[in-house]
Amino acid sequence: MTLTPAPRSSVSDHVFAQLRDAVLSGAYAPDAALPSERELAATFEVNRHAVREALRRLQQLGLVKVSQGGATRVLDWRVHAGLDLAMSSGDILPVSTLVRDMMEMRACVGADSARLCALRGTPAAKALVATSVDALAAAAPDLDRMGEANVALWRAVVAGSGNIAYLLAFNSLVSGALAVGHVPPTLRTAELLDVAGHRRLSDHITTGAAASAFAQAQALLTAPIQAVQAVQAVQARKEARA
């Protein structure tokens, strides 16, 4: 991969993006040493402060390990990186696969959150789930509004589960360039318009029926995955013929 001089605007972002892509593409293998700050500054035609800022961001993503006075070494992102990488990976990681993968993760987190919300959610948390379902129903048939109401509903479910790790993961799943909420609502019609299914979910949570809440949440959240996979299959066939 050829590194190019940075434009004058947002030089640190430019350095960060090119080094990130070089690491993710395998141009720098795990445990390889990056060029020194001085060398990188010369290559990008920027000052060393911009290079340090870019390296700091790479380290926060789990892509490199910066050693004071020593070489900056590349880490294996499959071992060290977290969800933040999916939000800032540019075009290097397969975007179509990431969308599918994040929706699958959403289904797993959502289903277990529904189970936990039914088991240990407070009365106030369960009431908020019910209110959120009412808001979803009121937004029908506007899919864009229903999409927004859907995010609020699942936030109530996840928050009601009392699992902070799930809540933080949910925040990642509904923000950034690859957010589940950015999946076209037309691909989530089966999920969004199933108001009766969402009411069943709320009823199961309210009555503490954990297993039923899990199954209902899973049914709702796996429906759009199948739609996305069908669209991706069509696109793959078109690309193969091109």
Q: Which tokens is 84 given?
A: 């933040």
Given the structure tokens 């990681």, which residue do they identify? Answer: 93
Q: What is the CA radius of gyration of the chain?
A: 22
> Pick from 114, 142, 124: which is nearest to 200 by CA?
114
Residue extents of the structural domains in the chain: 11-86, 94-241
Q: Tell me: domain 94-241, CATH 1.20.120.530, correct?
A: yes
* CATH number assigned to the domain covering 11-86: 1.10.10.10
What's the CA gap between 38 and 48, in Å, rounded? 7
Q: Which tokens is 171 given?
A: 């925040």
Q: Tens-of-pLDDT digits for all 242 residues of the chain?
A: 667 665 655 888 899 999 999 999 899 999 999 999 999 999 999 999 999 999 999 999 999 999 877 789 999 998 998 878 877 765 666 655 777 788 889 999 999 999 999 999 999 999 999 999 999 999 999 988 998 999 999 999 999 999 999 999 898 888 754 455 456 666 778 888 999 999 999 999 999 999 999 999 999 999 888 777 776 666 667 767 76
